[in-house]
Amino acid sequence: MEYTVQQLAKLAGVTSRTLRYYDEIGLLKPARVNASGYRIYGQKEVDRLQQILFYRELGVGLETIKQIVTSPSFDDVQALKQHREKLLAERRRLEALIANVEKTLLAKEGRIVMSDKEKFEAFKQQLIDENEQTYGKEIREKYGDEQVNKSNEKVKNMTQAQYEEVTKLGEEVLRVLYEAFLTGDPAGELAQKAADLHRQWLSYFWDHYSKEAHAGLAQMYVDDERFKAYYDQKQSGMAEFLRDAIFIYTGKK
């Protein structure tokens, strides 16, 4: 039995373009080409196409399929195992995406139908998520997973009053810091008040406070572009100013 492109295409449930493409990339060459330049496929090619489509069905890339079907000694089991790993990783990624979308949907819909309590829970979760998403990797690198997880735990266990407090405190730090910045003196009363407010704010996230860690974080505010951007949002140079104030507050350096 011999087939032209279209015939083989129908037989296998692909388009003729696909067959031409497979010819082009050398994945499946026709048995011969007739006088008019038509591609003619035989039984061998049909079988091979079945094989190709089988692996394609599994999501294997055409390049890999080429390896598998062209070299008989190719370790297809090994290839399949590797491919399985890729699929599993992809599934994990999807799981995370789905969870995220659903959480977002919950929060968005929640604006209307969620109770205050639930809303608050979602906000807390969002606070954690945003933190994770924005700073997670760097903080985990610099301070370790344990510290970050503890911090997240603390947020989760906050009461609503505490949550409002921490939000207000964060804003107050910025406000006082800005006033202090205008005085230009990091050792002055206002700057030291800002540093103290910052310590209070911090204590909502860290399970124990230390001057060293506080000073370290202050330095990070300057070194890390993202933190810097946050504190510089009102005025450039405020991250440095806060660092200086905290260094004085903690008696460091």
Binding site for a copy of itself (CB under 8 A): 1, 7, 10-11, 13, 43, 46, 54, 57-59, 76-77, 80-81, 83-84, 87-88, 90-91, 94-95, 97-98, 100-102, 104-105, 108-109, 133, 225-226, 229, 232-233, 236
Cβ-based neighbours of 67, under 8 Å, separated by 6 or more: 74, 79
Residue 236 interacts with which of DNA, a copy of itself, none, CB < 5 to 8 Å by class: a copy of itself
- Decide if residue 67 touches DNA (CB under 7 A): no
CB closer to a copy of itself, 90 vs 153: 90
Dihedral-angle region of residue 41 (phi above 0 means left; psi in -120 to 50 means alpha; beta otherwise): beta
Which residue carries 């009363």 as its tokens?
Answer: 189
Cβ atoms within 10 Å, residue 245: 26
Site string for DNA, 184-213 (x = CB under 7 A): ------------------------------
Query: 16 to 35, contacts with DNA by CB under 7 A?
Result: 16-18, 20-21, 34-35
Is 27 in contact with 66 (CB distance < 8 Å)? yes
Residue 18 interacts with which of a copy of itself, DNA, none, CB < 5 to 8 Å by class: DNA
Is 198 in contact with 246 (CB distance < 8 Å)? yes
Q: How far is CA 120 from the centre of its chain?
A: 24
